[in-house]
Structure 1
C-alpha cells in the first residue's frame, strides 16, 4: 500500500508563487482580479514535512475522526455481530429459490428476521430512519428457473441538510452451496455473506440515533448469488427516485481473517475499485486516456477517500487498495451501482478460505466443513464495521463531491486553470485544489483556494494530475473530483 505520508513530489518544477483567480456563483460573492496565496511559513522544525520545495500547497494528511465518530466506532459490538451471523446461519439455507413462507427455514424466514431487526433499530430514530421490504417478481432468467419473488430489506436514514445526496452500503443475505441451483441442502452462508449483513445491521443500530447531513441507505440485498438481481433492483429504484448516489460499498465475504493455507491477517481489508468505467462511451474513454486519468475514475476517488478517513487507530484496520473492479470469475453488488454510473467499490477479507466458502456442510475425518460461523472471526467483522462506519460518517457529514470539474485545455500555458460548480451546502467553507505526480498512487498536496468556483495554479497541467475537493467549516473534505478537459 502506498505511503501517503512520505511520498514526495520531486519533479513539478521550480517553486513559484501560486496565483488564484476566483469567481463565486453570485454577484455578492464575486471576486475579480488575481488572489495571491501566501507561501507556507516555517514555524518550527515539525512543520518541515508539510512544505514542498518544488510546488505549491501543503501535504495531504489523513482526516482524523471527530469526537462523535470516535464514540460511534467505540459502540460497535462484536457480540451483536456474532449473534447476527449465528442467527442467519441457523436458517439452514437462505438460497434465493428456497422457501419464502416457512417460518424457520429458508430465505423468507431470514428476510422477515432482518426486517424485524431493522424496524427495531429504526424505532429509536424519531422517524428519521424508515425500513421497507423492497420486492419484485423476477421472471425466469439466468439461475432463476421460475418466476421468483426477490426482496431487499432497506433502511434509509434521511439526511437533514442534503437529503438527495445518498451513500449506500450493502451485504447480501442470500446464500448458496456448491451447486448454485441446489436450494434444499444446507447453505449456512456465515462468511458469504451473513458477515456483510451483520455489518449492515450493526450500522443500522448505531446510525439510527444520530443525525447526518446526507442520506444513508443500509440494505440487505437478495439474489446476489443468482446474478446480482436484488442490488440491480435497488440501484434502479434509487435512480428512478432521483437519488444522487455519490458513493456505495458492497460488504461481501468480510467474515474471516484466515486463508485456506492457515495464515491469518486480522488487520487488512481488501478494497476493490475499477479504473476507467465500463459505462463510458468509446469517445469518453478516448478523451480520458488521451490526457491520462486512467487511474482516476470516480470509484477510485471514492476508494482514496476511504483510505484517508478509515485507516486509523479508531478502526484498527489497514485497507489494501486493489486496482480492479473485483476478483477473477466473480463480482459483487457494487457492480449494479457501477452500471448506473455511480462511484462504487467492494470490501472483502484479505484472503479467502475456499475449503469453507460455497461448500456443502459435511464431515471429513471427524471435522465439520462448510460456510459455518465457527470459521468466522467476529473481532475482524467488528473492525470491518468500523471501517464502514468511519467512511459513511465522513461522507455523510462532509460536503458533496464538486460537480462538473473542468481543467482548461484551450490554450498552451505553463499554469493550470480549473473550474467547477459552487456547492450549496450551508456549512461549505471552500475548496482545495489537490495535485500529485503522475506516478503517485494518491493525492499528495492540497492548495486552499477559498469559496470560489475557479482557480488558476502556477503549475503546469502537463506535469502533474489535478483534482478539486470541497471542505466544510468543520474541516471535513469531500472525495476528489477529477477534472475533464474543456474550456
Structure 2
C-alpha cells in the first residue's frame, strides 16, 4: 500500500454522531477469535493456495458475475420492506428474513471454499425505529500472516426505507439504495473466498444506516473496543445505477435522464493529504495496473474531495471518525437526493427496473465489484508500506529516500502530485536502490510524494 504523502516546498461533512450501542456480541466464536488474531492460521488455508495478485486478478475478473449479482438482488427485493424496524419473525418479509437469507448465502459460499469462510452476526442493543436489538451480518476469511493481524473490511448496508424514516409497511425495495452495495459485498465473499491472502478479509452487511449509521458504528465500536487493527474499509452505497434522476446529491450528474456507466466516485474524509485519500489513490492505482489495460469497458475512478455528497453520509464515516482508513464507493450519476419529492432514493420507486428501463445496471455493478476486489486483493497481499524522507538538494531538487520496510522484489513506485490535485500526476519506478531524484521539479511548488 501507499505510504501517506509527505509535502515539500522548494525554495525560491463532519462525521455523523450516533449514540453508542450496548452489549455488542459476535455470535460465531471462531469468527471473533480470528478477528482478534487468536487462531491457528493453518486451519483455514486452502489445499492449493492461489496467492499472487498476478494470478488472482485475471481469474477474479472472470469470476465476478453480472448474473450472480442479478440473482442476489432479485431475491433481496422480494423481502418487501427491509427497514431496520421491520418484521424479524416472518420467513418471507422484513429485515429478519432478509438477514437470515444473506447469512445462508455466506454459509453456502463457505461450503464452496472448504469451510474457510466464517459467517456470523454482530448483535447489538440500540433503539432504532422502536426496535431495541439488531444484527449486522458478516463473514470472515482468515488471513495467513502470523505477524500482522490487521483486517480489511468491504461493506454495504442492507436496510431500506421509504419517505418516512421508520415506515415498516411500505414497499421499500431498496434496489439501488442499497441492495446494490449489499449484493456487491456478497459477490466478493463468493469470489474471493477461494483465494489465500495475508490479511483477513471481512464481508460486512450492516443495518440501521438509514437512521444514523448505527450498524456500521456498532462494528467500528467492536473493532475499537477489541483492539482489532483495521487496515482499510471499503463502503459501497448506491453503486448500481447509471441514470441521472430529477434530483441528485451534488457533486453528481448534470440533467435528468443523462447516463454514465464508465465512472465511479470514491469519497473519503479530510484533505487530499489524508490516509483516506491515499487509500482511494491506492485502489485506483491497483485497478489501472491490473485490470484497466485489458478491460473491455475501462472504468474511470474519480477521487472526490468531500467525505460524502452534500448533506449526505455513509457507513465509512463511523470508521474514519475514529481514525480508521475508510472510503465510500458511489455511482457517478444518482437518481435522487434522499428527499421524498423527486428521484427514486428512499421511495417505493427504488426498483430494479420499470418496463425496458433498468435502474440497476448489472454490467456496471459487475465492473464496480471488480474495482472493489482488486483494491482488497492488493491491500491484502501487498508488503508492509515503506517509509520515506524528502530532502531538498543544493541544486533545489527533491530527493526521495525509501526507509523502513524493504521491497521483497527490489522495486518501488514513487508517485507525485501537486497542491489541489486528488490524483497523482506521475508515477516513477525505482529499481535496485532506495534513493530517487525527482525530475522536472519547479521552485516555489509544493509536491506531495508517496511510495509503495
TM-score by length of 2: 0.75
Residue of 201, 204, 208 corresponding to 1:223: 208
Which digits, 9 at most, give the CA deviation of each residue in 1:341-387, with x for residues without a partner?
A: 122111111111125523543xxxxxxxx111212111111111111
Q: Which residue of 2 aligns with 1:352?
A: 334
- 1:146 positional shift: 3.3
**Secondary structure of the corresponding residue to residue 148 of structure 1:** strand
Q: Which runs of 4+ in 1 moved over 6 A?
A: 417-421, 458-462
**Matches of residues 379-458 of structure 1 in structure 2 within 5 Å?**
379-402=363-386, 414=396, 422-423=404-405, 427=408, 429=410, 431-438=412-419, 440-443=421-424, 444-446=426-428, 448=430, 457=437
Q: Distance in 2 between matches of 1:266 and 1:259?
A: 11
Q: Are 1:166 and 2:158 an aligned pair?
A: no
Work out the number of aligned pairs and report it: 375
**Secondary structure of the corresponding residue to residue 399 of structure 1:** coil
Instruction: Give yes or no for contact 2:418–2:448 (8 Å, CA) kept in 1.
Output: no
Which digits, 9 at most, give the CA deviation of each residue in 1:26-74, with x for residues without a partner?
A: xxxxxxxxxxxxxxxxxxxxxxxxxxxxxxxxxxxxxx97242111111
- 1:238 positional shift: 2.1
Q: Which residue of 2 aligns with 1:210?
A: 195
Q: Distance in 1 between matches of 2:112 and 2:188?
A: 13
- 1:458 positional shift: 7.5
Instruction: Give yes or no for contact 1:402–1:468 (8 Å, CA) kept in 2.
Output: no
After TM superposition, the structure 1 stretch with the greater mean CA deviation from structure 2, 77-86 or 231-240, is 231-240
Q: Are 1:330 and 2:312 an aligned pair?
A: yes
Q: 1:165 to 1:373 in 2, by over 3 A?
A: same
Q: Are 1:305 and 2:300 an aligned pair?
A: no
Q: Are 1:126 and 2:114 an aligned pair?
A: yes
Q: Distance in 2 between matches of 1:421 and 1:158?
A: 30
- 1:412 positional shift: 9.7
Residue of 84, 91, 106 corresponding to 1:103: 91
Q: Which residue of 1 aligns with 2:138?
A: 154
Q: 1:469 to 1:242 in 2, by over 3 A?
A: farther
Which 5+ residue runs of structure 1 have no aligned equivalent?
Answer: 1-10, 14-63, 277-294, 362-369, 471-487
Q: Distance in 2 between matches of 1:74 and 1:215?
A: 23
Q: Distance in 2 between matches of 1:240 and 1:167?
A: 17
* CA radius of gyration, larger in: 1
Q: 1:456 to 1:262 in 2, by over 3 A?
A: closer
Q: Distance in 1 between matches of 2:429 and 2:422?
A: 19
**Matches of residues 181-192 of structure 1 in structure 2 within 5 Å?**
181-192=166-177
Q: Are 1:273 and 2:268 an aligned pair?
A: yes
**Secondary structure of the corresponding residue to residue 379 of structure 1:** helix
Q: Are 1:178 and 2:163 an aligned pair?
A: yes
Instruction: Give yes or no for contact 1:231–1:333 (8 Å, CA) kept in 2.
Output: yes
Q: Distance in 2 between matches of 1:104 and 1:169?
A: 27
Q: Are 1:78 and 2:73 an aligned pair?
A: no
**Matches of residues 22-61 of structure 1 in structure 2 within 5 Å?**
none
- 1:446 positional shift: 2.9
Q: Are 1:373 and 2:352 an aligned pair?
A: yes
**Secondary structure of the corresponding residue to residue 217 of structure 2:** helix
**Matches of residues 311-322 of structure 1 in structure 2 within 5 Å?**
311=288, 312=292, 313-314=294-295, 316-322=298-304
- 1:434 positional shift: 3.6
Which digits, 9 at most, give the CA deviation of each residue in 1:251-287, with x for residues without a partner?
A: 10112111122222111111112333xxxxxxxxxxx
Q: 1:67 to 1:458 in 2, by over 3 A?
A: closer
Residue of 198, 206, 216 corresponding to 2:183: 198
Q: Are 1:234 and 2:222 an aligned pair?
A: no
After TM superposition, the structure 1 stretch with the greater mean CA deviation from structure 2, 325-334 or 393-402, is 393-402
- 1:469 positional shift: 2.4
Q: Distance in 2 between matches of 1:119 and 1:424?
A: 39
Larger RCO, structure (CA 8 Å, separation 6 or more): 2
Q: 1:412 to 1:134 in 2, by over 3 A?
A: farther
Instruction: Give yes or no for contact 2:286–2:375 (8 Å, CA) kept in 1.
Output: yes
Q: 1:331 to 1:458 in 2, by over 3 A?
A: closer
Instruction: Give yes or no for contact 1:159–1:212 (8 Å, CA) kept in 2.
Output: yes
Q: Distance in 2 between matches of 1:130 and 1:386?
A: 22
Q: Which residue of 2 aligns with 1:465?
A: 447
Which 5+ residue runs of structure 2 have no aligned equivalent?
Answer: 1-8, 12-51, 246-255, 337-341, 354-358
Q: Which residue of 1 aligns with 2:236?
A: 251
Instruction: Give yes or no for contact 2:84–2:129 (8 Å, CA) kept in 1.
Output: no
Q: 1:239 to 1:125 in 2, by over 3 A?
A: farther
